[in-house]
Amino acid sequence: MAARRVDGGEQLFTRAVDFGYSKNPKETLEIWDKDLILGDVVTAIRKFKPDVIVNRFDHRSPGTTHGHHTSSAMLSVEAFDMAGDPTAFPRQIGKY
């Protein structure tokens, strides 16, 4: 949060927990419950309606960084496409 005071960015959180070190996004998404966290990310995109989404980590290179980092990038790419799809997480539609 201290970094956000410097850069002026808005920090959003999901219910994904930092459970410890992982190099593997598959393991991370099993522990996090991928569908639950994906829904959180779709919600954030629908609510905030960003013009640009920037990933700090590469979603295409699993194993080159922490599984949490790769997983967050993978989820944001998937959620970007889903946020505009009314059949994805339909209970969210009309809330934002």
pLDDT at 86: 93
pLDDT at 57: 83
Domain ranges of the chain: 32-86
pLDDT at 63: 67
pLDDT at 85: 95
Cα-Cα-Cα-Cα dihedral sign, residues 78, 84, 89, 94: positive
Query: Mean pLDDT, consecutive 10-residue segments, the chain of 96 residues?
Result: 89 85 87 94 93 84 78 94 94 79
CA distance 28 to 17: 10
Say what the pTM is. 0.82
Phi-psi region of 54 (alpha: psi -120 to 50; beta: other; left: phi over 0): beta
The residue with tokens 């590469």 is 58
CA distance 41 to 48: 10
Question: For residue 4, what are its two tokens?
Answer: 């956000």
